[in-house]
Structure 1
Amino acid sequence: MSGARFGSLLEGLPASPQPDELFTTLAALPGSRIERIVSTGQSSPDGFWYDQDWDEFVLLVAGAATLQVEGEGDRLLSPGDWALLPARTRHRVAATAAGGPTVWLAIHAGEPGSGTGAE
């Protein structure tokens, strides 16, 4: 058996808004973590900025979101849009669509404590 895994980023989405975003780790590889994030109208708290020690690549799969990058302003993201956020790039989610799930694929590269194998 090869150990291959398959799935759908659009499977099992919530039918109604949730109190919090849903984070699902799809794979934890040496130095990297791949996750699905499902937002249902959430945004980063006022004044909060992500400021990570690792690179992050995000792809908006479904829905819509406004991403703020410090010093670069707002960027409206639609399905298929992606961003590469190098380590120490301060960013936040200003808004996500409230009318249905917003689905992100996030790849964290060089993250301390990332897994050592597939989960």
Structure 2
Amino acid sequence: MAGNILAGLPAEPEASERIETLLARPGVRIERIVSTGQASPPGFWYEQPEAEWVLLVSGAALLRFEDEAAARHLSAGDWLLIEPMRRHRVEWTAADAPTVWLAVHYLRD
């Protein structure tokens, strides 16, 4: 299995994010997420049971954690770990070029 994380990116903004599973095994899932200006719906918070390590490969985004006063601006190369059940949301993603995320979801011991 092989590929290129930057291949096949949309030339124009799309109605919704593209989420592609690159690898799935018991206890771990690796996804490529391509955003083109999307954001979390008003009032919506992600609150997932697994941990998520995320790398912003290209583009830009503003990520907010419910328990932090200020949102985090992410640009290419930035990564972070989102602990299980930590409420977070995407305030915005760049609309002028695709924002590519590499997300690794895994179960914590």
Match of 2:38 in 1: 42
Q: Distance in 1 between matches of 2:100 and 2:4?
A: 11
- State the 1:11 CA deviation: 0.2
Counterpart position of 2:95? 98
- Partner of 2:50 in structure 1? 54
Pairing 1:33–2:25 present: no
- 1:19 is aligned to 15
User: TM-score by structure 1 length?
Assistant: 0.87
Alignment RMSD (CA, Å): 1.0
Query: Between Structure 1 and Structure 2, whose CA radius of gyration is higher?
Result: 1
Unaligned 5+ residue runs, structure 1?
Answer: 112-119
How many aligned positions are there? Answer: 107
User: Which residue of structure 1 lines up, in the alignment, with residue 106 of structure 2?
Assistant: 109
Q: Structure 1 stretches (4+) deviating beyond 6 angstroms?
A: none
Distance 1:103 1:38 in 2: 5
> Which secondary structure does the structure 2 equivalent of 1:16 belong to?
coil
Mind listing any 5+ residue stretches in structure 2 that lack a counterpart?
none
